[in-house]
Chain A
Amino acid sequence: MKSFQEIIFLLSSYWGAYGCAILQSYDLEVGAGTFSPYTFLRALGDGSWKAAYVQPSRRPADGRYGENPNRIHKHHQFQVVIKPSPDDIQDVYLKSLEVLGIDYRRHDIRFVEDDWESPTLGAAGLGWEVWCDGMEITQFTYFQQVGGFNCSPVTVELTYGLERLAMFLQKVDNVFDLNWNGKDGVEKITYRDVCLQQEVEFSKYSFEHADIENLKRHFKDAEQECLRLAELQLPLPAYDQCMKASHLFNLLDSRRALSVAERVDRIARVRALAKICCKAQLDAENTNCQG
């Protein structure tokens, strides 16, 4: 049986050996590994890039007070990004599953169409969800557009859902029963031990207690700061503010504080920020090239 952390170790060492820089999680709240500048901004421009990292991802609306065996507000993604996408990437990916102990002679792996689109990031890609015995374990995406800019060369993004993968490998039906450290008896640390409290408290926070007026104010602040920093040609600090705005939007959404029209409006505003950050990043790259 593979523990939760062993899955992370195995994937890290596999992709590390492949040549990816193994990075640490980005230190801001994000909704998905894609939001991290390690993926989002790196998908821009013509340089090559190979990286892999675990990204804890927060989706306030998915919280269920720790009561649902499959739903959590914060889950972990193992994110692999490679630019340009290699010709044999499907095979390389499938080998990573073998490394995790998935035996193709006994399982059914499928690539099922799933085009990805992020309205808040102005990003889109084509690819699949990868099914293992009917369970979606990975999102496999060829980026086509980021922040409204066409991607060339194309980045391929593999996002493993670590909880799903671990539940499959450990054959457990409740995410909180996952064995985190691989020990038995009193030494065993479970997902429950690590994450239950935060699930309960953050559900309360994002559904009941997050202060709506504060969130709206923070959103506005982040928005203005982002625009100001982009103006100063500081794409990375500007993008931090864009990520914050996006997370604040998610919280407002989970508080059901937005009408349909307001929702659409704020999505458009975050997308505008993402676009401006991408523009600043591309400008910075061009300056670097010339300098």
Chain B
Amino acid sequence: MDTNQENFLLELLVEEIPARFQEEAIANLKRLMVEKLEKQKIKSENIKTYVSPRRMVFLAQLEQQVPAFVEEKKGPQASAPPNVIAKFLQSLGISPDDCSEKVMDKKIFLVAHIRHPQRHTLDLLPHIVAASIREMQWPKSMHWGTHAFNFVRPIRNILCRFCDESVNIELGEINLKSTDYTFGHRFMSSGKIFAKNPSEYREKIKEAFVIIDPIERKNAILAKFTKNFSKPGVSVDVPEDLLDEVVGLVENPIVLLGQIPQKFMRLPEEALVTPMRVHQRYFPVRRNGILAPFFAFVANNAAEDDGKEIIKGNERVLNARLADALFFYETDLQKPLELHLENLKKIVFHEKLGTVFARILRICCVCDFICEEMNLGEDLRELLKRVALLSKCDLSTHMVSEFPELQGIMGGIYAAAQGENKAVCSAIGEQYKTVDEIASLPGALFSIADKIEIITGFFAIEKGPTGSKDPFALRRAAIGLIKIIKKYDLSLQLRAVVRKTFGLFNFLKCDANTVEAVIAFILDRLKIVLKESGISHEVVAAVVECDDDIMPIFAKAEILDQTLKNENGKKLITSYKRSKNILEQFGDFGNCSVDRELLTEDGERNLLDELEVLEIALEKLEISGLDPNIEFQTKISLCIALEKKITTFFRDILVNSNDEKIRFNRIGILLKLTSIFERFLPEIARISVESY
């Protein structure tokens, strides 16, 4: 790109814009500017935008003149009353001579030819810029001073230049006029920075210690990380979101390295990393994968003493937080987890649902129900009970009170410290994690029990989600539940477990329809999960209607979706639908049994033979004890094999025979066909055929 061609410069200097809004904000400004330039027919090229905590920058190459052009504007019909026509002309400030007539849709309309003279871009820019600033949208914005004007934070300066000239912008609402200068880095530069044009701006803002380009700031940080931590085995944790935030907090990134006193290194990794990342925006350093007693951080200021004081200050802040954490950790370790149960008896989970302790007891029961339904062994059952009992104990530990984001994780760590079974510890540690992070079967089962309890409980007191309101995050719980069941391929009779779980809430006077409401709610989420995985709407609706067990639904949805993607599958659906349509035409015909004696044609004889064979085959299949997925797949294959016979029947046989006996006999064959589908493959029967 040749930046020398740039001739337009706009910089908004704003009090520190929250990091999370910056990227969206500059995209928004760019869109508005481009839209308005285009509307004015100003040609633009080489548009470049940049954003930092304090400024939004828009640079471009704009044409200096907008050539004269004629705009055509459709008016009223030529036959319209004179006052209507006069009004139209008046609104555009033109005379009848500037109009011509044009036939559109067989009617004659007036078309105005509005002559736009050549204009200077410089004259158009003030309005374009001011309107763009005024129209900017923010997720959160504010007022300041006495002004009735909304922006993310107060705007303090507008620098705007075009072809080495000032663009005079005035935002009267905030008493602000554009200037020919800006300010550099808040601390490393002083006084006004004058810039006549983009290239001077680029040069001078750099000299004033501001890197306007976020990508450049990001790369500078990464390059410094690579350079500082180049020893083999040494690495820095650089989560993308943290890096982006830090990039949005500085104009002049300076990477510094602080030390952590060795005594804190006995804290569990999460307890070290959380205050570093979340509270201080530091980057943990590792040696051979293990946390090293260092942290990297990004300052905004190249200090005279190479950052010695800055480092000391930051170390002191982190030390204070870690000292707290260590104190809490060691205090917590002295108290066995079970002893926290006493506290949990006092902590109310929800007014109507009782204490956290009451909830734990219910989750224990739900674990039991799941084990019963799935025929799981005694060992696993006992293990899950232990998990449930200890699961919420960390809620009353010091550490979790201080760092709520460590709930579950600390529970797992404390359980390990008191010598619990490894599987118990990891299940406790995984309970709040997402499906991808759940790595053990006990963890998955416990998480399911936890979620079924919470969903059923809130439904029992009629606090299920409504509209956009879901204060207890039950939708997320349901989706989590579904995904865990899928990941671990668990055959769980959901309705049975929910029904038993519902029984645990019989201390409440609650609606007996709760069980069905919970199932319907979970199945609704299941539909979403299925659609997200690319299964068509019709298949989703059909399978969810015919089943309420999660794994079979998943399997059937996939099989059916595949089936319908190939020609034979589509034909099968069409045949079923065609039979149904014919039957409908004949209306109510009572019981039409088929009499072999009345068969006259090969086509009907063959089909009937095949249907009888098929029915027996399908019946056998249902009692064969095959894997349900294979069973479903086989049923579909068997039906597809019949396809030719059905097509032949439709081609050769006239159902609507003049002979009533023969007619009813043929209807009987079709009835047999459709009833086989309805009985053995209700999903196919329910699929709406329109889309295939």
Contacts and interface: CB of A to CB of B under 8 A. Distances in A.
Given A105-B304, A152-B148, A144 B142 contact: yes
Contacts of A71: 324
B140 A134 contact: no
B403 interface: no
A115 interface: yes
Interface string B297-327: 1011101110101101110111110011001
B349 interface: yes
A104 B16 CA distance: 17
B300 A260 contact: no
Interface residues of B, number: 47
Contact of A133 (B20, B187, B313): B313
Contacts of B304: 105-106
Contacts of B300: 108-110
Interface in A115-174: 115, 125-126, 128, 132-135, 142, 144, 151-154, 156, 168, 171, 173
B124 interface: no
B628 interface: no
B142 A87 contact: no
B145 A260 contact: no
Nearest to B315: A134
B346 interface: yes
Contacts of A115: 140
B145 A87 contact: yes
Nearest to A105: B304
A256 interface: yes
A182 interface: no
A276 B142 CA distance: 24
B314 A133 contact: yes
A5 interface: no
Nearest to A71: B324
B351 A259 contact: yes
B13 to A, nearest CB: 11
A168 B319 CA distance: 13
B620 interface: no
Contacts of B312: 133, 171
A212 to B, nearest CB: 13
A69 B146 CA distance: 42
A238 to B, nearest CB: 27
Contacts of B145: 84-87, 153-154
Contact of A261 (B153, B301, B303, B351): B351
Interface string B143-163: 111101000011010000000
Contacts of B346: 256
A107 B156 CA distance: 24
B32 interface: no
A68 interface: yes
B18 interface: yes
Interface in A220-260: 256, 259-260
Given A84-B145, A126-B142, A152-B146, A108 B16 contact: no
Contacts of A1: none
B249 A154 contact: no
A287 interface: no
A111 B15 contact: yes
Contacts of B314: 133-134
Contacts of B349: 260
B324 A113 contact: no
Contacts of A110: 249-250, 300
A90 interface: yes
Contacts of A84: 144-146
A127 to B, nearest CB: 8
Nearest to B304: A105
Contacts of A173: 316, 319-320
B108 interface: no
Nearest to B327: A68
A196 B349 CA distance: 36
B351 A109 contact: no
A90 B144 CA distance: 13
Contacts of A111: 15-16, 53
B309 A133 contact: yes
B15 A90 contact: yes
Of B145, B301, B319, B350, most buried by chain A (CB within 10 Å of CB) is B145
A259 B313 contact: no
A113 B146 contact: no
A70 interface: yes
Of A106, A108, A144, most buried by chain B (CB within 10 Å of CB) is A108
A99 interface: no
A9 to B, nearest CB: 24
A113 B143 contact: no
Interface string A88-108: 001000100000000011111
Nearest to B187: A104
A284 interface: no
Contacts of B15: 90, 111
A112 interface: yes
B187 A113 contact: no
A71 B324 CA distance: 9
Nearest to B143: A154
Interface in B28-56: 53
B317 A68 contact: no
Contacts of A152: 143, 146, 148
A133 B307 CA distance: 10
Contacts of B307: 108
B320 A70 contact: yes
Contact of B310 (A107, A154, A260): A107
B19 interface: yes
Contacts of B148: 152
A85 B317 CA distance: 31
B654 interface: no
B493 interface: no
Contact of A260 (B20, B156, B250, B350): B350
Contact of A108 (B53, B154, B280, B303): B303
Contacts of A105: 187, 303-304
Contacts of A113: 16, 18-20
A104 B348 contact: no
Contacts of B350: 260-261
Of B15, B144, B303, most buried by chain A (CB within 10 Å of CB) is B144
A107 B327 CA distance: 30
Nearest to B318: A134
Nearest to A94: B186
Nearest to A132: B313
Contacts of B53: 111
Contacts of B16: 111-113, 128
B303 A69 contact: no
Contacts of B313: 107-108, 132-135, 168
A261 B310 CA distance: 45
B320 A87 contact: no
Q: Which 4 A-B pairs have the closest CB atoms?
A: A133-B313, A259-B348, A113-B18, A111-B16
11 contacts: A68-B324, A68-B327, A107-B301, A108-B299, A108-B310, A113-B16, A113-B19, A135-B316, A142-B154, A173-B316, A260-B349
Given A106-B305, A133-B309, A134-B297, 16 more contacts: A70-B323, A84-B145, A84-B146, A106-B303, A108-B300, A108-B301, A126-B140, A133-B312, A133-B317, A135-B316, A152-B148, A154-B142, A256-B346, A260-B348, A261-B348, A261-B350
